[in-house]
């Protein structure tokens, strides 16, 4: 019971928690958002949200890069802070621009992803990652 109420933590527990957060966030983004977008590319490419006026198709390609490829790298813990920044940028557009003024239920999942990946970007990948094993 004392351990449950303690605010102390070990390096091992911290690194394990970062591993779980990184892998779960990355896989959920990858499976729940990236794969469906690439599977439905032709249907989405004509009408996808285009905040930078670069074309619907190009905006979709950039989002797929963030949600599919950057999520894979996040799971591995490779170039973690860079890919986390890209994902945070992508999710910030979704949460703060695309869903602006909408009810919370429309963007709460995106906001949760945003906070998780932002935390990873700030704290880093932890020791149990490719970056951690390379000493970066």
**Measured between alpha carbons, how far is 42 from 46 in angstroms, rounded to an integer?**
7
Look at residue 9 and tell me if it is in a domain: no
SS3 at position 48: coil
Q: Give the whole-number percent of the chain exceeding pLDDT 70.
A: 99
Question: pLDDT, tens digit, for every residue of 91-117?
Answer: 999 999 998 998 988 889 999 999 999
**Measured between alpha carbons, how far is 11 from 110 in angstroms, rounded to an integer?**
29
Q: Which residue range(s) make up the domain with 35?
A: 18-125
Q: Read off the pTM.
A: 0.90
Outline where the chain has alpha helix (H): 2-5, 11-29, 35-39, 41-44, 56-64, 71-76, 80-92, 104-123, 130-134
Count the domains in the chain. Answer: 1
Look at residue 5 and tell me if it is in a domain: no
pLDDT reading at 43 higher than 70:
yes
Look at residue 76 and tell me if it is in a domain: yes
**Measured between alpha carbons, how far is 64 from 22 in angstroms, rounded to an integer?**
18
pLDDT reading at 27 higher than 80:
yes
Look at residue 67 and tell me if it is in a domain: yes
């Amino acid at each position: 019971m004392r351990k449950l109420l303690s605010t102390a933590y070990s390096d091992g527990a911290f690194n394990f928690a970062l591993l779980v957060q990184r892998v779960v966030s990355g896989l959920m983004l990858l499976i729940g958002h990236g794969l469906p977008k690439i599977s439905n590319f032709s249907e989405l490419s004509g009408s996808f949200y285009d905040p930078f006026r670069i074309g619907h198709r190009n905006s979709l390609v950039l989002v797929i890069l963030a949600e599919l490829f950057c999520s894979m790298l996040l799971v591995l813990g490779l170039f973690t802070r860079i890919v986390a920044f890209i994902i945070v940028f992508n999710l910030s557009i979704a949460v703060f621009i695309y869903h602006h003024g909408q009810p919370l239920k429309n963007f709460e999942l995106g906001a949760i992803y945003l906070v998780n990946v932002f935390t990873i970007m700030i704290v880093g990948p932890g020791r149990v990652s490719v970056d951690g094993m390379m000493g970066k």
